[in-house]
């Protein structure tokens, strides 16, 4: 599929779905409303809208569309039924080791399975070391993008950073990622909606598929190393604190948000 068409379809689906979902409030408003870092009430319905937009990439890449849907579904479980007692990879895996199956642990295992299926699809069922790297890349980017969904617009800006270069190189899945991200930005930047695990996991998985499809074997391992490194760093360092201390990053992070 042409990358411009892919971007347009994903953007259109996201823009169409978001107001419809916010009007319908499936299951009731209280199911989807959350309090953000600033104490404002925001809606998580941006997440399902983004998943629908990202899923349209299945028209050009079954691996991309199915990965977005699977990762988004896992995110919905964590958004709606998850608890906050355990946080991060270490917290959920430690709980699992003690026999406590958290929704976060289910998501981690589910993203691993999603990555494996996507990698097998991309490499047409031929398993090799680079296929393993592709599986880790899909699962890892799905988790990593969610770590940035702490301020309005931040995770969407990161998804654009991941998607734009790959889209320029000709990747239709990356173009779909860009289209869905741009379509969701206005309400997200205004602090009216947020992606939650649902949208962030879907867009992250889509970014991982796009990278795995375009990168050679060595490139996959380098990208996976970067994703793992950032994920491990997040267990010890606050990304928000690093951004706040770095003037350039702070300016980029604040771009587009209403001034208060």
Whether residue 250 has pLDDT greater than 90: yes
How is residue 171 written in tokens? 């990747």
Q: What is the pLDDT of residue 91?
A: 57
Q: What is the pLDDT of residue 6?
A: 93
Burial of residue 79, with CB atoms counted within 10 A of its CB: 0-12 exposed, 13-18 middle, 19 or more buried = buried
Residue-range domain boundaries for the chain: 3-254
**What's the pTM value of the predicted model, to 2 decimals?**
0.91
87, 105 Cβ separation under 8 angstroms: no
Tens digits of per-residue pLDDT, 75-100? 999 899 876 665 656 555 566 566 66
145, 189 Cβ separation under 8 angstroms: no
Identify the residue with better confidence: 230 or 85: 230
Tens digits of per-residue pLDDT, 187-226? 999 999 999 999 999 999 999 999 999 998 899 999 999 9
Question: How is residue 41 annotated by DSSP?
Answer: E
Residue 140 main-chain phi, psi, to 5 deg: -70, -40
Q: What is the pLDDT of residue 58?
A: 92
Q: What is the pLDDT of residue 108?
A: 86
């Amino acid at each position: 599929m042409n990358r411009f068409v892919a971007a347009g379809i994903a953007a259109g689906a996201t823009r169409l779905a978001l107001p419809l979902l916010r009007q319908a409030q499936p299951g009731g408003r209280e199911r989807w409303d959350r309090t953000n870092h600033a104490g404002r009430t925001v809606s998580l319905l941006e997440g399902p809208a983004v998943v629908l937009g990202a899923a349209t990439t299945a028209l050009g890449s079954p691996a991309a569309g199915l990965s977005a849907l699977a990762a988004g579904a896992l995110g919905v479980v964590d958004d709606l039924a998850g608890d906050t007692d355990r946080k991060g990879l270490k917290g959920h895996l430690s709980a699992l080791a003690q026999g406590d199956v958290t929704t976060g642990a289910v998501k981690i295992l589910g993203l691993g399975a999603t990555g494996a299926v996507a990698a097998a699809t991309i490499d047409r069922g031929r398993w090799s070391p680079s296929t393993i790297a592709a599986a880790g890349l899909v699962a890892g980017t799905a988790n990593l993008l969610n770590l940035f969904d702490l301020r309005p617009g931040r995770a969407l800006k990161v998804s654009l950073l991941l998607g734009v270069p790959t889209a320029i190189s000709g990747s239709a899945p990356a173009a779909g990622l860009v289209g869905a991200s741009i379509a969701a930005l206005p309400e997200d930047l205004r602090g009216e909606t947020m992606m939650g695990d649902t949208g962030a996991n879907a867009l992250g998985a889509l970014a991982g598929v796009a990278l795995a499809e375009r990168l050679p074997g060595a490139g996959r391992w380098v990208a996976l190393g970067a994703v793992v490194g950032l994920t491990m760093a997040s267990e010890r360092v606050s990304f928000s604190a690093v951004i706040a201390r770095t003037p350039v990053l702070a300016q980029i992070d604040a771009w587009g948000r209403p001034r208060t």
